[in-house]
Amino acid sequence: MLVFVDGVAVEGEFATGFELVRAVGGGAEIIALEHGGQLYDLSATLVGVNEVRTVAAASKAGRSILRHSAAHIMAQAVVDCFPGTKYAIGPSTEEGFFYDFQLPGGARFDLAELAVIEERMRSIIGERQPFIRQEVGYNEAERIFFDQPYKLEIISRVRGAGGTEDDLREAGGTEMVSIYRNSERFVDLCRGPHVPDTGYVKAVKLLRTSGAYWRGSEANDQLQRIYGTAFWSEGELEAHLVRMREAEKRDHRKLGAELDWFHFPPEVGGGLPVFHPKGAYVRYRMEEFSRKQHLAFGYQLAWTPHIAKAALFERSGHLGWYRDGMFPPMEMEGSTYYPKPMNCPFHILIFESQPRSYRDLPLRLFEFGTVYRYERSGTLHGLARVRGLTQDDSHIFCTPGQLADELARLLEFVLSLLRAFGLEEFAAELATRPDKAVGSEEDWEFATAAARSALEKTGLEYTVAAGEGAFYAPKIDIHLTDAIGRRWQVSTLQIDLQLPQRFELEYQSPENTKERPFMIHRALFGSVERFLAILIEHYEGHLPAWLLDEQVRLLPVNDASAGYAQEIAGKLVAAGARVTVSGAGEPLGARVRKAKIDRVPYLAVVGPQDLANGTVGLTRPRSPEQRGFPLSSFLEEVAEAIREPQLQLEIGQ
RNA sequence: GCCCCCUUAGCUCAGUAGGUAGAGCACAGCCAUGGUAAGGCUGGUGUCGUCGGUUCGAUUCCGACAGGGGGCUCCA
C-alpha cells in the first residue's frame, strides 16, 4: 500500500504513527500526525489512512501540543499537592499554557506554592507517564469524572448536542468523549493530541497566577489560573526567559520614569500622559521632523479642534458605529459636543469647503491630531495604549485613476520615514473584505487591487489577512520588528469607500462631470505616544542623538579643566549640538554614573592631559570609553550624529 | 469592563503577632578638586492610597472605593 507522507509516496502498512515515523527515518522531531484536517497522536491508528502530514515538534502546532501536555502535567501536580482540587480547562496559548482550578476551601495559590507544583511536575516528567487516549461513552465519562463538576458540565453540554468550540476541544466529540489518562491518579477529558509520554516535556516553568471565572462569566465560580510555559529543551526555555527579562528591562514605562520623560498623574486620569521637558523635547523633534518631511512630500497641513458637535459625528457615522469608543458628550448652549475619536470628519470638511476640481487632486492633508478614545481601564498600557493620543494623521483625496500610484508612493514614504528612525524590519498585511461589509463588490475589488499593486510595486513582503479589513475598506497594516524580535503594528493605510459617500464628496472631472473621490486614511507612526514607546523599547532608552535635548555632556575632571570644557562646549553649540557641562561639584565617578543613567549619547571627560593634547575621554552608549580621543574627530562625529536623517525616496513628488 | 496581586518618604523597599515607623538612594548644608557607574560628615523629610467599620487604641484586622501591575476580553 502507498501512503503519502507530506506529499511523498511511501510503501508500507503502518498500524500507528510511531511505525510510520520510523519508516520515514524520523525521530523525536515529529510529534504528531495530521490527516483529514485533524491532529492525531503518534499512537493513533493509521489503518486505512493513505495520506498524512507530519507535525514537526518545532512547529507552532508542535509547540502547542507540548504545552497542552504540560498543562495536563501541571493539573496532575496540582491535584497531587492539593487533594480535592477540581480542575476546569487547560489549553495552550500563544506563549505557553494555563489551567484553571478550584482549590479545596476556596484557597488561592501563592508564589511559593508554584515552586512546589513545579517540583512535583518535574517528578511526573521523570516518571515518563504515557498519555493514553481512550474513547468512552457519556455514561462512562460521567462515572469517571463523578467528582469533577466542571468536566461533568462540559460532558453534559456536549451531550446536549450543543457545546462550544472550547467544550469540544476538551471533550473531543459529540458521540463519544475522549479522555487522556497518564497515571492511575490522573485522567482528563481532552481532545488531544498529546506527546507520547510526560518525559517529552523537557523544560517547564510556571510563571504567574491570576483569577479567572469559569467559562469567562462573572456569574460563575471564580477559579484560580496558573500560567506557565514549556519548551522542548532547557536552552529554548532559558532563551525565552532571557527574552522576557530583556523585555522587562526595556519596558518604556520604567524607562520613561527613569529618564524623566513623562508620567500618568492619577489626577489627570488613566491613559492620559503628561510629558516632562525632556520627553516633550523628543516628541517635538519627532513631530517637527515628520512635519517637514510631509511638507516636502506634497502634503498640506491642517489643524482642527479637539471637539465638535454631535451632528458632525452623526454625519460621519462615528456615533452610529463607534459610539462605545468615544468619550461621553458635553452640553453647552443647547448643543451637544463630543471629543473627537478621529480626525477624518474634520479633514473632509476642509475638502468640501470649496468646489474641487480634478486639478486639486490628490489633495493630501496632514495633521498631528489629538484624539480621545474610551479604552477600558484594564487595557491601558503606558504610552502604548492610552485614552488621549496624537495621530500623525493624513487623509488623501484622489481620483480612482490615481489610487494605485498614490498608495505606492504613500507606502514608500511611510517606510522611508520609519527607516529614518532607525527601524529596519517591516512586514505588511493586506486586510481584505470582511463578511460584514458595506459597499459594492466592484468598489472593494477595485480598492483591493490597487492596494495589492502598490504592495507589489514597493516589493515589501506581505501577507493577506482575508476578511480582516475594516467593514468600510480594505487596509494595509505595517508591522515592524524591534531589536528583540517583537512585532508591533504601526502604520495603517485604509482605502475608504464610505466616508466620501456619506459626505457626498465630489470633484469636477476633465469631462466636466461630478465624480466621487477616493479617500485614503493613513496614520504613519500610528500615534506619537505609542511610537515613542516603541522607540524607547527598541533602543532600550538610547534613542538616536538627533532626537534628544541633551546630546553631549562634558565632564571636566576638576575646576582647572572647566575652561577647556567650556571651549569645547562652545564649538559643539556652534555646530548645532545641545550640550551641557557638568562641573566638578562632585566626584567624577558619580558624574559619569549619572550621565550613563541619563543615557546621554556622548559623554566626554576632559582633564589636564586632554587640554595638553587636544583630546577628550569619550564614552558612547554601551561601549567602553576611549581616552585620548582627538577633539577634532569628536567634533566631527557629534556633528554627524546630531544631523537629522535624510529620507531615501525613489518616487519623487 | 472582569479576575488575581500590589499601594509605607521624591524613588526602591523593610517594618509593626494592634500602642501613629525605618534603611539606601535622592534632596539641603559643610568639607573633599576627583581621569570614567555611588567621597565624607550633618540635616529635614511621611495624613503608612482614600473613606468607613471593629477596637480603649488601626499603618497593621475587616469592607468599600481609588490608583498601579499581571492576565482575560475588545480593538470598526
Q: Is residue A327 part of a domain?
A: no
A72 versus A165: the higher-pLDDT residue is A72
Q: Is residue A406 part of a domain?
A: yes
Q: Which CA distances in Å does A17 have to A30, A58, A155, A243, A419?
A: 10, 18, 29, 35, 49
Give A332 CA → B16 C1' in Å. 54
User: In this model, does residue A60 exceed pLDDT 90?
Assistant: no
Could you tell me if A358 and A406 lie in one domain? yes
Distance CA A621, CA A627 (A): 15
Which nucleotide comes closest to A109 if you measure CA to C1'?
A: B4
Helices A60-81 & A111-126 angle (0-180, nearest 10) = 110
Overall domain count for chain A: 4
Q: Is A144 left (phi over 0), alpha (psi -120 to 50) or beta?
A: alpha
User: In this model, does residue A174 exceed pLDDT 60?
Assistant: no
Cβ A593 to strand B below 7 Å: yes
Max avg pLDDT among A149-153, A177-181, A183-187, A523-527: A523-527
- Supply the range of the domain harboring residue A45: 2-56
Which nucleotide comes closest to A473 if you measure CA to C1'?
A: B76
Q: What is the per-residue pLDDT for A160?
A: 62
Q: What are phi and psi of A208, to 5 degrees?
A: -165, 165
Could you tell me if A37 and A94 lie in one domain? no
User: In this model, does residue A292 exceed pLDDT 90?
Assistant: yes
Which nucleotide comes closest to A628 if you measure CA to C1'?
A: B35
On chain B, which bases lie within 7 A of the protein's CB atoms? Answer: 1-5, 11, 26, 32-39, 66-74, 76
A363 touches A352 (CB < 8 A): no
The mean pLDDT of A497-509, rounded to a whole number, is 92
Among the residue ranges A7-16, A147-156, A199-208, A573-582, the one predicted with the least confidence is A7-16
Distance CA A482, CA A477 (A): 16
**Which residues are registered as beta bridge partners of A16?**
A45
Which nucleotide comes closest to A612 if you measure CA to C1'?
A: B35
A328 versus A300: the higher-pLDDT residue is A300
Q: What is the pLDDT of residues A333-371, one digit of tens each?
A: 999 999 999 999 999 999 999 999 999 999 999 999 999
Give A75 CA → B70 C1' in Å. 21
Q: What is the per-residue pLDDT for A653?
A: 47
Helices A441-458 & A403-420 angle (0-180, nearest 10) = 40
Cβ A618 to strand B below 7 Å: yes
**Which grid coordinates belong to A328?**
461621553
The mean pLDDT of A28-40, rounded to a whole number, is 83
pLDDT band at A170 (very low <50, low <70, confident <90, very high): low
Q: What is the pLDDT of residues A97-152, one digit of tens each?
A: 888 888 776 666 766 677 788 888 999 999 999 998 888 888 888 888 888 888 88
Among residues A30, A29, A33, A26, the alpha carbon closest in space to that of A52 is found at: A33
Q: Is residue A476 part of a domain?
A: yes
Residues 359-378 in A having a C-beta less than 7 A from any atom of strand B are 376-378
Among the residue ranges A224-228, A326-330, A426-430, A597-601, the one predicted with the least confidence is A224-228
Distance CA A212, CA A214 (A): 7
Residues 47-106 in A having a C-beta less than 7 A from any atom of strand B are 93
pLDDT band at A166 (very low <50, low <70, confident <90, very high): low
State the Rg of chain A over Cα.
31
Cβ A265 to strand B below 7 Å: no
Could you tell me if A267 and A243 lie in one domain? no
Q: What is the pLDDT of residues A409-420, one digit of tens each?
A: 999 999 999 999
A421 versus A139: the higher-pLDDT residue is A421
Q: Which stretches within A297-402 are classed as H helix?
A: 310-316, 318-321, 344-351
Distance CA A259, CA A580 (A): 16
Distance CA A540, CA A562 (A): 32
Give A587 CA → B31 C1' in Å. 13
Which of A247, A270, A288 corresponds to the end of one domain? A247
Which of A502, A521, A539 corresponds to the end of one domain? A539
Residues 431-490 in A having a C-beta less than 7 A from any atom of strand B are 470-472
Side-by-side strand order, sheet with A51-56: A8-11, A2-5, A51-56, A30-35, A38-40
Residues 195-224 in A having a C-beta less than 7 A from any atom of strand B are 208-213, 216, 218, 222
Which nucleotide comes closest to A587 if you measure CA to C1'?
A: B34
A362 touches A356 (CB < 8 A): no
Give A361 CA → B18 C1' in Å. 76
Single-letter code of the amino acid located at A568: I
Q: Is residue A243 part of a domain?
A: yes
Give A268 CA → B10 C1' in Å. 19
Q: What is the per-residue pLDDT for A162?
A: 55
Which nucleotide comes closest to A609 if you measure CA to C1'?
A: B35
CATH of the domain at A592: 3.40.50.800
Could you tell me if A627 and A555 lie in one domain? yes
Could you tell me if A469 and A564 lie in one domain? no
Could you tell me if A347 and A418 lie in one domain? yes
Give A591 CA → B47 C1' in Å. 37
Percent residues over pLDDT 90 in chain A: 44
Closest residue (CA to C1') to nucleotide B37 in the complex:
A593
Give A258 CA → B12 C1' in Å. 12
Cβ–Cβ contacts within 10 Å for residue A538, how many? 22
Give A99 CA → B61 C1' in Å. 33
pLDDT band at A31 (very low <50, low <70, confident <90, very high): confident
Give A84 CA → B61 C1' in Å. 30
Cβ A653 to strand B below 7 Å: no
Could you tell me if A40 and A141 lie in one domain? no
User: In this model, does residue A510 exceed pLDDT 80?
Assistant: yes
* Residues of A noted as catalytic: 344, 373, 391, 393, 395, 475, 521
CATH of the domain at A149: 3.30.980.10
Q: What is the pLDDT of residues A399-409, one digit of tens each?
A: 999 999 999 99
Q: Is residue A329 part of a domain?
A: no
Closest residue (CA to C1') to nucleotide B39 in the complex:
A587
A48 touches A69 (CB < 8 A): no
Single-letter code of the amino acid located at A418: L
**Which grid coordinates belong to A311?**
451632528
Which of A491, A519, A539 corresponds to the end of one domain? A539
Burial tier of A334 (Cβ tally within 10 Å: 0-12, 13-18, 19+)? exposed
The mean pLDDT of A232-257, rounded to a whole number, is 84
Q: What is the 3-state secondary structure (H, E, C) of A590-604?
A: HHHHHHHHCCCCEEE
What's the mean pLDDT when you consider all of chain A?
Answer: 87
Q: Is residue A315 part of a domain?
A: no
Give A540 CA → B8 C1' in Å. 31
A15 versus A293: the higher-pLDDT residue is A293
The mean pLDDT of A186-195, rounded to a whole number, is 86
The contacts of residue A541 (CB under 8 Å, 6+ apart) are A250, A255, A258, A259, A599
A323-331: Cβ within 8 A, 24+ apart: A324/A374, A325/A373, A325/A374, A326/A372, A326/A373, A326/A374, A327/A372, A327/A373, A327/A374, A327/A387
Q: Is residue A322 part of a domain?
A: no
Among residues A620, A577, A568, the alpha carbon closest in space to that of A599 is found at: A620
Among residues A124, A122, A133, the alpha carbon closest in space to that of A41 is found at: A133
The contacts of residue A262 (CB under 8 Å, 6+ apart) are A256, A273, A274, A275, A276, A279, A383
Q: What are phi and psi of A513, to 5 degrees?
A: -110, 165
Which nucleotide comes closest to A595 if you measure CA to C1'?
A: B37
Cβ A528 to strand B below 7 Å: no
CATH of the domain at A22: 3.10.20
Single-letter code of the amino acid located at A599: R
A24 versus A73: the higher-pLDDT residue is A73
Dihedral of CA A350/A352/A354/A357: which sign?
A: positive
Burial tier of A558 (Cβ tally within 10 Å: 0-12, 13-18, 19+)? exposed
Which nucleotide comes closest to A590 if you measure CA to C1'?
A: B38
For residue A291, the SS3 value is: helix
A250 versus A640: the higher-pLDDT residue is A640
Q: What is the per-residue pLDDT for A110?
A: 65
Could you tell me if A51 and A79 lie in one domain? no
Could you tell me if A218 and A239 lie in one domain? yes
Q: What is the per-residue pLDDT for A218?
A: 58
Give A567 CA → B69 C1' in Å. 48
DSSP A136: E
Q: Which stretches within A342-498 are classed as H helix?
A: 344-351, 403-420, 441-458
Q: Is A460 left (phi over 0), alpha (psi -120 to 50) or beta?
A: beta
Residues 286-345 in A having a C-beta less than 7 A from any atom of strand B are 318, 321-322, 325, 341-342
Residues 530-559 in A having a C-beta less than 7 A from any atom of strand B are 556-559
Could you tell me if A41 and A129 lie in one domain? no
Which nucleotide comes closest to A318 if you measure CA to C1'?
A: B76
Q: Which CA distances in Å does A167 have to A102, A174, A180, A194?
A: 18, 10, 15, 17
Could you tell me if A360 and A463 lie in one domain? yes
The mean pLDDT of A507-517, rounded to a whole number, is 95
A428 versus A165: the higher-pLDDT residue is A428
Could you tell me if A410 and A487 lie in one domain? yes
The mean pLDDT of A521-549, rounded to a whole number, is 93
Among the residue ranges A217-221, A290-294, A423-427, A579-583, the one predicted with the least confidence is A217-221
Give A107 CA → B69 C1' in Å. 22
Q: Is residue A337 part of a domain?
A: no
